[in-house]
Structure 1
């Protein structure tokens, strides 16, 4: 009996759970990073984009910011896992683009020291480097949606029950039976 690795265990967990665990790790890591930056003397004050006044960056703000980003990233991952044709690839490309876009915040912050801007931008990259690979890896283990079957079987159709029964009967007569649970298409043996 072999032992299971952490990657094997995460591959069988729900997408939201993997994202939440990665988010917890990222929130902890970025908060520790912020505390370390504070300890070495990086000014902990930043302004909004174009602001003329800065506000203090308090303890817990790194973790809170990471948690908010991971919340929305989790929703994205779950939707892609359920409805996407290539969820891992789409998630990876989208989150990398969003991470690059998020760097505008620190670099365009007004009334903020350059060392603080760099430190905040690195915190964004640091959090993304923890969450994105873990969730992408998990999404790569999601079953692919068959071509032409976007949303099936999760989206209800507007067919009446009689129409659905007739369609299933026609599929069965043709020797092609598609079951939503297994997504198999077994052939009836020739008589």
Structure 2
């Protein structure tokens, strides 16, 4: 009785052998998907908060329209995708650098929420929405960057 072993050659896809292969989509496609998901999530949560009585109005009375949550989240998430793409090509440890940078930028994004003159409920909700968006986009991109 002889046994035959088959080795998977370099460059051969694992799916040809019936194995589960990790997703091979480019970084930007994963990033776009995460950006869209974050935009939907922040918009839905902002709508729920607004319905619960959070005003999103500053001390001058100017409020944030619900559509702005989707727009700003999408644009800034796409900036994060660009940042990840640049770091993937130019930085020695892109995952570590990307995570550290995005954590710092997320923390900096709280500053306007705390200084513009929002009431406590609005500021806390805005900060939570920043964290929700970051929790969706940053891990999605980070796990696709080299250690």
Give TM-score, length-normalised by structure 1: 0.64
Could you say which residue in structure 2 is the equivalent of 1:128?
134
- With CA pairs under 8 Å and 6+ residues apart, which has the higher RCO, 1 or 2? 2
Please tell me whether the aligned partners of residues 31 and 141 of structure 2 are also in contact (alpha carbons under 8 angstroms): yes
2:55 aligned with 1:43: yes
Q: SS where residue 76 of structure 1 aligns?
A: helix
Within the candidate set 20, 26, 33, 2:32 is matched to 20
Within the candidate set 78, 82, 94, 1:75 is matched to 82
Q: Pairwise CA RMSD of aligned residues? A: 1.5
Please tell me whether the aligned partners of residues 39 and 70 of structure 2 are also in contact (alpha carbons under 8 angstroms): yes
Q: Distance in 2 between matches of 1:54 and 1:2?
A: 58
Cα drift, residue 131 of structure 1 = 0.4
Gaps of 5+ in 1: 47-51, 142-191
Within the candidate set 31, 34, 49, 2:46 is matched to 34
Could you say which residue in structure 2 is the equivalent of 1:92?
99
Gaps of 5+ in 2: 1-17
Q: Distance in 2 between matches of 1:126 and 1:54?
A: 26
Q: Distance in 1 between matches of 2:144 and 2:124?
A: 31
Instruction: State how many pairs are aligned.
Output: 130
Could you say which residue in structure 2 is the equivalent of 1:106?
113
Q: SS where residue 138 of structure 1 aligns?
A: coil
Cα drift, residue 3 of structure 1 = 4.3
Give TM-score, length-normalised by structure 2: 0.82
Instruction: Select the structure that is richer in helix.
Output: 2
Runs of 4+ in 1 over 4 A off after TM superposition: none
